[in-house]
Structure 1
Amino acid sequence: MPQNVSPKKRLRRDARRRMVNKSRMGRIRTSVKRCADLVSAGDSAFSLVRSAQSELAKGVSVGIMHKNTAARKIRKLMIRLNRASG
């Protein structure tokens, strides 16, 4: 356990950031799963894919996800959407 003020503050800040990042990742996973389920069911889920795309981009911009990971997930969603619609 840290004894000085600065490392104690760092622990508090890290705990807050961890909660925010966990929440954001949960929101990303939920949106991706939701639109993947709808697309595989054959429904028109273009707006959900767009919202999942937006969530993934936000994850990249705040630094909790690598840009190639987000690009890969977006590509998979778009492939599923195109197969279901076409």
Structure 2
Amino acid sequence: MANTPSAKKAARKIQRRTATNKARRTRVRSFLRKVEEAIASGDQASANEALKAAQPELMRAVSKGVFHSNMAARKISRLNSRVKALGA
């Protein structure tokens, strides 16, 4: 366990940050799940709306340091191509 006051404070900060990041990650995953469900249902309009809602959430998580930018770009790109394939 942490002994020095600074180590105790660091442990408290890490705990708070972990809880915040976990909430952000959960929020993004639920937005992505909505896109996946819309794609699975085959409805391009709802999938497009869900994707438009998920994109800013993903990029917000990137700016907060929860996700890597390349990972978010890759997810958006792959979901976008799957949504476009519904219309074809």
TM-score range relative to shorter protein:
over 0.9
Deviations 1:22-57 (A, max 9, x none): 111011111111111102211112221011111110
4+ long deviations beyond 3 Å:
none
Q: Which residue of 38, 55, 71 corresponds with 1:69? A: 71
TM-score by length of 1: 0.93
TM-score by length of 2: 0.91
Deviations 1:52-79 (A, max 9, x none): 1111101110011100100010011101
For 1:39 and 1:80, the matched residues in 2 are separated by 7
**Identical amino acids, percent of aligned pairs:** 36
The alignment covers a number of residue pairs equal to 86
1:2-81 pair list within 5 angstroms: 2-43=2-43, 44=45, 45-81=47-83
Residue identity matched to 1:17: R
1:82 aligns with 2:77: no
